[in-house]
Chains A and B, each alone.
Chain A
Amino acid sequence: MILELDGVTRAFGSLRAVEDVSLRIAEGARHALIGPNGAGKSTLFNLIGGSLRPTKGRVLFAGRDVTRLPEWRRARLGIARTFQHSSVLLSCTAAENVLIGVQREAGVAARMLPTPRRRRELLDRCESLLETVGLSGRAHVPAGALSHGERRQLQVAMALGNRPRLLLLDEPAAGMSPAETARLLTVLKDLPRDITVLLIEHDLDVVFGLADTVTVLHLGRHLATGTPAEIRADPAVQSAYLGTAEMGELFVEA
């Protein structure tokens, strides 16, 4: 198991954003996390990534208890993520954005003197990552000048620059054009199996095009986990969505 959540709870005052969620994700899985807004999906991501600590419960990454580890240490163990709201370095170029993770992964981030040849090598890697996500030729454009969709693509390249073992994608296709979404889906499908993908997504094409397992959260609680077909047929899932008969409507953004 690459990731195990063991009775994880996170309370904000009296509100329990995530309550007693247990989840096991196998190495190489393509796992989707779905549920209506307020289901606790992003909070759960923050608990896995480490920007939030659970009130109760444990987080295990590759068999190791990381519950008390700060976010940056978890990142170094191999957890990379994208954020729901595009989170890029606006004044840095697209290539520099990717270089942040690439230079850290290469172990040279703390060097205080330039190493031009090494930088060239690392920048080459950045450019090929940018090409992978569909941003070839945009390497030297400041991230602030990229379109919304391009910034979302950039986020994926930044996360991949970390060479993650577990990739957390928070609504990667939100606000993308259909063409961009299709491209993203291809990129994600082509990822090697030594990268496990856990994604939050409302876009059905992405969820059912990619995921081999789907988990439904509802009001902070775990509702069901299964194959896409099982989830579609699950009566508990259907009633949680207030009797919505057609599965497609479940995923329409409120």
Chain B
Amino acid sequence: MRDGMKGGMKVLGPAAVVVALVAAPFIATSYVISLATGVLVLGLLTMSVNLLTGVAGLPTLGQAAYFGVGAYATALVARSWTQVGVVHLLVATAAGAAVAALTGLVVVRTRGVVFLMLTLAIGELTYSAVLEWDTVTGGSDGRATPAVSPVWGMPALRNDGLVYLWVLAVFLLLFALVAAVVRSPFGLALRGIRDNEARMRADGYPVTRYLLVAYTFAGGLAGAAGALWISSERFVSPSDIGFHVSAMALIAVVLGGLGSMWGAVAGMGLVVLTRDLVGGQFTGDLAGRGVLLLGLVFVAAVYLMPRGLAGLRLLTRRRQALAAPGSEES
């Protein structure tokens, strides 16, 4: 009986969230919807960071590079070839994954601070390359693109609500895919590598290869997020793919709780909410200083919820377990 209710909650909770997300553009204001679109796009980037940092144990500061590769590849395709969103997604995913595979050959052999510094360098190099290579990227002016049309024959999306629904559809698909990968044998192997590499090698796992596959997958995911960025913004410039984007995603992962995918997206929601929705109200000397507030929220969050947003649920479960002794560990 209780198991049945638990099982029901497991389906009902996510179903309610999906219904709310689909209904949102019919209820919320256009401004809120465009913020929500941003959260979904950057949420995918955050999931990519989380896959490496929370699941595989590799804290990275370079995922904005693959996000940028995806966004600029999409801008190129949109300006010179096609407005079809599905093509954008495929090209951006392939581009992100390819660059991640190449750079990954070097970085997944390193750990800890060296890994962090290398990924930081990849992010900075990509930023500089985009800035300098202005014949292709438009340099600091960035690149504007025409509106996206999700599939062949569909009109271009100019309405914020419709763009949101397109982004949401792709987001849900990719979220389900990532959630499946985390639950797969490969996902367990990544968690094993995070916990104890020596053990994994002794059990027959080629650790470096597994991490390279994870790194490539995460790069493809960040690339796909780049394509959606173009769908929603119709513009990309170097500042959209700079260090602060990687840092924001890492902060969102920590806020959300390492390893939890819905937590990562919720963490990015909290970041955008703090920086734009609340920070955007600042006037006078504080105008445009939403990032300061973000810093305060981060410090407070790390103190108050060391396991992030996803940890809050864990906490209520533990309380329930304490209230009913022996229900958790017997």
Contacts and interface: CB of A to CB of B under 8 A. Distances in A.
Contacts of A71: 201-202
Contacts of A111: 184-186
Interface residues of B, number: 29
Contact of A75 (B181, B192, B201, B329): B201
Contact of A113 (B184, B191, B202, B204): B184
B185 A108 contact: yes
Interface in A143-164: 145, 158, 161-162
B243 interface: no
Given A100-B192, A114-B180, A114-B183, A109 B199 contact: no
A175 to B, nearest CB: 18
Contacts of A51: 198, 201-202
12 contacts: A72-B202, A76-B204, A91-B195, A100-B189, A100-B203, A103-B185, A105-B204, A109-B204, A110-B186, A112-B180, A119-B185, A145-B329
Contacts of A89: 191-192, 195-196, 199
B155 to A, nearest CB: 35
A91 B329 contact: no
Interface in B37-68: none
Interface residues of A, number: 39
Given A70-B206, A72-B202, 11 more contacts: A80-B202, A87-B202, A92-B192, A92-B195, A100-B189, A103-B185, A109-B185, A111-B185, A112-B187, A114-B185, A145-B329
A114 B217 CA distance: 16
Nearest to B191: A92
A88 interface: yes
A104 B205 contact: yes
Interface in B203-261: 203-207, 210, 213, 217
B188 interface: yes
A109 B195 contact: no
Contacts of A81: 202
A72 to B, nearest CB: 5
A100 B199 CA distance: 10
A72 B195 contact: no
A110 B192 CA distance: 13
B312 interface: no
B200 interface: yes
A87 B201 contact: no
Interface in B150-208: 180-181, 183-189, 191-192, 194-196, 198-207
Contacts of A92: 188, 191-192, 195
B181 A112 contact: yes
A87 B198 contact: yes
Contacts of A100: 188-189, 192, 199-200, 203, 205
